[in-house]
A and B are shown apart, each in its own frame.
Chain A
């Protein structure tokens, strides 16, 4: 798009776009705030809507009744989820038990590393570190953190139960009635903004659908590749750490670093201690990232979002600070949405001001 034809029009358009953009973004953030208690089930339901909709369309094409098609797909998903959980949960639980039993070893290994490297660093800069003091302080902090975590988890039980009930219900009604509800809300737009509103909605939803589907496939591929890699190198609990690496991949740049840290901790706790497995575990994550960047991202998420890496990192930190874990996952789609809204608003307002100036 070339916006350099008329400087007066472009200046006025920037200012107007900014005003409307701030209003729209403010409205969206206020809605998020109002929905904050049920934000997680709403987001999961819309994600499921994006995933299930093509299948319901397929069944409707085959002369299924729309409501019946939705119920059929939801039941199918429920059965599939129960089967998958009943198959994977015992394996994962046994791996979690192994991890739990290994925690003291991981801690000892961590202490060992800390002692060696603090001595080396102390010798290098001429300062004497008292490792046991640091560890005592770390331990007291981590035990209070553990207590806080337990309280938080018990508080979250209600929210999780609510989500389990709300998600299938919300997904059903979104699949069934979302279009008519959406049409009614879009009818509130004034005549001059009606078509623009629909265009922005259309572009945002197309991009979000592409992004959600892409990210799901990407996480799954990452989990499989990392689990397989960890299994090959002989790392303990490969499926659990691989699955976590897949999930953490939802958080760009920062997620893979946490995956590396996790893999290193598990590798360092293995008996007998073998430093080569630490390097191999890091190599698996790096190899999985290379596959992700060279094969998966170009073919699965190409053009889904087009944001500068610095903007992505800053956005993740700000959203994480504002909305916690959900904020970290929502940061990229939210920024991509804001970008589409801004570009389209500006194009329209610029055109209107050019008409005025000409």
Chain B
């Protein structure tokens, strides 16, 4: 029955959910995780619309999860230095998946954007149900964070 009143207006369209699954699948975060599991996770992710020049988060804000750029463009700054310029399919803010703490940089939308939030709470609930896949995910996350640390060390040694 295709009745407007009874339709779930918040439900993501099938193609959008598949697009989110596809984007996450291409990231190192979901390496070696079967797409049907990423798809079931994507169904519960939160899509938010941002205007051009709208702040996504500021340094020091409390963060709740990682963010994927579904549409648009986001720039990440730390102390007014551009750290990265992110397009669709890129993700950022994954540190808060390991530790719900303060954001370490500022993020701002350059264009009108659609961002997908993957919250730490959803990750924890998923790990409770799928502990084996959860372990793979956490290893991927650890590897990404280790690479970031390595890069930061290199940058520091270059400065010195």
Contacts and interface: CB of A to CB of B under 8 A. Distances in A.
Interface of A: 57, 60-61, 179-180, 183-184, 186-187, 191-192, 194-196, 198-199, 201-202, 344, 347-348, 351-352, 354-355
Contact of A57 (B50, B54, B57, B128): B128
B65 to A, nearest CB: 7
Q: Which of A60, A192, A352 has the most CB of B within 10 A?
A: A192
B29 interface: no
A131 B129 CA distance: 67
B39 interface: no
Contacts of B10: 183-184, 187
B55 interface: yes
Interface in B95-115: 100, 102
Contacts of B57: 195
B16 interface: no
A195 B129 contact: no
Interface of B: 10, 44, 46, 48, 50, 54-65, 100, 102, 117, 119-121, 128-131
A344 B10 CA distance: 28
Contacts, number: 63
Nearest to A180: B44
Contact of B121 (A187, A202, A348, A355): A202
A354 B55 CA distance: 16
B105 to A, nearest CB: 13
Q: Is the interface of A mostly helix, strand, loop or mixed?
A: helix
Given A351-B61, A355-B60, A194 B55 contact: no
A351 B129 contact: no
B100 A354 contact: no
Contacts of A187: 10, 46
A258 to B, nearest CB: 39
A195 B62 contact: yes
A179 B125 CA distance: 11
Contacts of B55: 192
Contact of A195 (B54, B61, B131): B61
A57 B48 CA distance: 28
A44 to B, nearest CB: 23
Given A195-B57, A196-B64, A198-B121, 12 more contacts: A57-B128, A191-B48, A192-B55, A195-B62, A195-B63, A196-B61, A196-B62, A199-B62, A202-B64, A347-B62, A348-B61, A348-B62
Given A199-B100, A355-B60, A61 B129 contact: yes
Contacts of A183: 10, 44, 46
Given A202-B64, A352-B58, A179 B44 contact: yes
23 contacts: A57-B128, A61-B128, A61-B129, A61-B130, A61-B131, A191-B50, A194-B117, A195-B63, A195-B65, A196-B62, A196-B64, A198-B121, A199-B64, A201-B121, A202-B120, A344-B62, A348-B61, A351-B61, A351-B62, A352-B58, A352-B61, A355-B58, A355-B60
Nearest to A206: B121
B49 to A, nearest CB: 8
Given A186-B46, A348-B62, A195 B117 contact: yes
Contacts of B56: 191
Sorted nearest first, the 9 A-B pairs with minimum C-beta distance are A195-B64, A351-B60, A198-B64, A202-B121, A184-B10, A199-B64, A57-B128, A61-B129, A199-B62
A151 B63 CA distance: 54
A22 B46 CA distance: 28
